[in-house]
Chains A and B, each alone.
Chain A
Amino acid sequence: MKNILVVEDEFDVQQVVADVLRDEGYEVAVCGNGREALEYLRKHRPDVVVMDVMMPILSGPQVLEQMAKSPELKGVPVILMSEISPPESEPRRWRSFLRKPFRLEQLLDAVSRVSGVMGRA
């Protein structure tokens, strides 16, 4: 079973995304901000991180920066999600990008592609 970490400060979005992924058979952990996500990542290594950009304490790009500096987290694939497309100038440290609001199929497709799982986990 694949492990997914959902990092999202909007409580309702976080819960819906987590529930949908659980329904699909993934094991899901959730964090509400970037700092919590980094703390989680130091202890666990999920197969995929689904992460928001604008969050309190540490933003999505700041977490990605920290992950890039850490050899054990460098290879963890990240799906970034945001209301706006990331600027071209920003280093592309994510595997896939989801523009909010996204459809259920888009989320599941991105997770299955990035985790290397076709269909259910």
Chain B
Amino acid sequence: MSESRNEGEGGGGGEARVQTGIRRLDFILKGGFKAGGAYAVMGPPGSGKTIFANQLCCNHIEMQGGRCVYMTLLVESHAKMVAHLSSLRFFKQEYLPDRLYYISGYQEVREEGFTGLLELIRRTLRERKATLFVIDGMESAEQFSSSPQAYREFVHALQTAANLLGCTTLLLSNLRSRSHVENALVDGVIELSDQLIGPRAVRELTVHKFRGSDYLRGRHEVEITNDGLIIHPRTEIQFSKPPEQAREQRIRMGFGLKRLDEMVGGGVPSGSTVALVGAPGTGKTLLGLSFLVEGARQGQRGTYFGFYEPPPRLIEKAEDVGIPLERYVKNGRITLEWQPPLEHFMDSLAEQLLEKLRLDEKHTERRRLFIDGAEGFRAAAVYADRIPRFLSALTNQLRMQDVTTVITDELDLFHPELDLPTPELANVVETVVVLRYLELRSQMFRLLSVMKMRESAYDTSLREFRITSNGIDVAESFESAEVLLSGHARVRDGDGKGRGTGDKPPRTRKATTRRTAVKRAGRSGKGGGGKR
């Protein structure tokens, strides 16, 4: 599987590997642990070390027919451990005692020292024909060492014996320094952490060392569920080496709104990403849904991925303004993926989205995606500085999959400038459409403009648009917007022509509107057609 997939098997370089079976960890380790290697797994209490090791044992039995010995050194009693593990789906009691064998080595090391413990380990591994060996509680063993050198010799002898027996070994311990003697000797070091970042408790996995193989560096979010540990590799590192563009044949993908589509040359190019930015209530969600419905009309598949409105509300909202969403949801042309606004993992959201789209890959039709909105990812981010790289990786990946994406981002309701909450979004998308309010004579008007469009000519004018029960109506020309901005308000007819209100405001009265300066990284948006 290529590196751009997040369920990769990885390349083991021809060596035998012990697959962990832990979701996405094999992708991080490029295939799993090396057979016969010794690996330190360290972390504070509660970080998931015991679950991790038992999950690895059970998966090793299930996937590779392995045999496991799990030795504890004055940690949780076996009875308690089994009771706790029994609630997890991977744990099968029928593995005990034949394939998964729990023993304690504490008394041996206490009474016989390292020599006795090594003999006990060697004999047990041979007798049980073990292919995977776990020692849980290495710090207890270290307590009995007469010197750091004695402990070093013990770890070295243990590795040698296990390697000779072809047995992969995990050494579990509480958090210790990176330079700890044990970490210097083993083939790999994995840290499981559990920390409070603001109000959130965040578990992470970091591979600090992995001899003889590439691996995904840095911190990766960890979830502990009834399925055990689930790892979410950082999106930006998963897709750091994207493959070449998939499709060359690009077509225009319209919104189904005649005049808006005219403004963007008949639609946005397929495989590109559009940012719809605007204050709450300006119509971003409806425009996005209109984009999906227009695709469905043309036989294209569409996915809504949102955080705030559950599917029934969304359908009701669309139908109220004449967007026939329900029929396309019912016939399966459009799927609605709603994530309730709870505490999410940003990378997990990206995985859900990309995996959902991957399931649709078997269909040959063009695909459309509407992400409502970018703030859902922002809220899930533990580290805010990851957002630009994350969005860049995600949008790149969507391009690779030839998915045409509309993503909304929310502007402040009461703010004099177009201050993008995610300035980087403007850089990673090809097109930016801005929706804004204008207040005039106790009335709210909506204006729409295309701020940026790569690889295409586009109409730079501001257009007034309305949301009525008959749909979204974008003005035919910029005149109505011009009139509004000048303060000389006229109300449009249904055909888009202006007519006088009969109540001409005094010249001195000006409409209050947002300034058009857009704060964002990179160059400020300039009007005029871009390159074709």
Question: Which A residues form the contact surface with B (CB < 8 A)?
Answer: 9-14, 32-33, 53-57, 59, 82-84, 100-101
Q: Are B77 and A10 in contact (CB under 8 A)?
A: yes
Residue ID in chain A nearest B82 by CB atoms: A83
Determine whether B373 belongs to the interface, using a CB cutoff of 8 Å to chain A: no
B93 x A84 contact (CB < 8 A):
yes
Interface with A: B96-104, B201-209, B318-326, which one?
B96-104
Q: Which residues of B contact A (CB under 8 A)?
A: 72, 74, 77-80, 82-83, 93, 96-97, 101-108, 110-111, 120, 123-124, 127
B120 and A57 contact, CB distance less than 8 A? yes
- Minimum Cβ distance to chain B for residue A102 (Å): 8
Contact B103 A101 (CB under 8 A): no
Min Cβ gap A121→B in Å is 25
Complex-state Cα separation, A33 to B120, whole angstroms: 10
B108 adjacent to A32 (CB under 8 Å): yes
Q: Which single member of B74, B77, B111, B127 contacts A101 (CB below 8 Å)? A: B77
Known: A10-B72, A53-B97, A56-B123. A101 touches B79 (CB 8 A): yes
Contact B96–A83 (Cβ < 8 Å): yes
Q: Which residues of B contact A12 (CB under 8 A)?
A: 74, 77
Query: Is B97 a contact of A11 with CB atoms below 8 Å?
Result: no
Residues of A within 8 A of B120 (CB): 33, 56-57
* A83 touching B79, Cβ below 8 Å: yes
Chain B residue at minimum C-beta to C-beta distance from A30? B107
CB A82 to nearest CB in B, in angstroms, measures 8
Tell me the nearest residue of chain B to A62, going by C-beta: B127
* CB–CB A100/B124 < 8 A: no
Q: Which residues of chain A have C-beta atoms less than 8 A from B127's C-beta?
A: 57
Excluding A55-B103, A83-B78, 16 further A-B contacts by CB distance (< 8 Å) are A9-B103, A9-B105, A9-B107, A10-B77, A10-B78, A10-B104, A11-B106, A11-B107, A12-B74, A32-B107, A54-B97, A57-B127, A59-B97, A82-B97, A84-B97, A101-B80
Residues of B within 8 A of A13 (CB): 77, 79
User: How many angstroms between the C-alpha atoms of A10 and B105 in the bound complex?
Assistant: 8
**Residue contact A14 to B82, C-beta cutoff 8 Å:** no
Q: Looking at chain A's contact residues, is the secondary structure mostly helix, strand, loop, or mixed?
A: loop
Q: Which of A10, A14, A59, A101 sits near B83, CB closer than 8 Å?
A: A101
Checking A14, A54, A56 against B96 with a beta-carbon cut-off of 8 angstroms, the contacting residue is: A54
Please, how many angstroms separate the alpha-carbon atoms of A53 and B111 in the complex? Answer: 22
Residues of B within 8 A of A84 (CB): 82, 93, 96-97
CA distance A32 to B103 in the complex (A): 10
B123 touches A100 (CB 8 A): no
Q: In the complex, what's the smallest C-beta–C-beta distance from B325 to chain A, in angstroms?
A: 53
Provided the pairs A10-B72, A84-B97 are in contact, do residues A54 and B77 lie with their beta carbons within 8 angstroms? no
Q: How far is the CA of A10 from the CA of B74 in the complex (A)?
A: 8
- 17 example contacts (A-B, Cβ-Cβ < 8 A) are as follows A9-B105, A10-B72, A10-B106, A11-B104, A11-B106, A12-B74, A12-B77, A54-B96, A54-B97, A54-B101, A56-B105, A56-B108, A56-B120, A83-B83, A100-B77, A100-B79, A101-B77
**In the bound complex, what is the Cα–Cα distance between A9 and B79 (angstroms)?**
13
Residues of B within 8 A of A59 (CB): 97, 101
Contacts of B80 in A (CB 8 A): 101
The 4 tightest CB contacts between A and B, nearest first, are A100-B79, A83-B82, A101-B79, A32-B107
CB distance from B122 to the nearest CB of A (A): 10
A41 to chain B: closest CB distance in Å? Answer: 19
A-side contacts of B78, CB under 8 Å? 10, 54, 83, 100
Q: Which residues of B contact A53 (CB under 8 A)?
A: 97
Q: Tell which of A10, A56, A82 has the most Cβ of chain B within 10 Å.
A: A56
A9-B104 contact, Cβ under 8 Å, with A57-B120, A100-B79: yes
Contacts of B103 in A (CB 8 A): 9, 54-56
A56 to B112, CA, bound (A): 14
Which A residues are in CB contact (< 8 Å) with B72?
10
In the complex, the chain B residue whose C-beta lies closest to that of A35 is B123
* CB-CB nearest in chain A for B80: A101
- How many whole Å from A89's CB to the nearest CB in chain B? 11
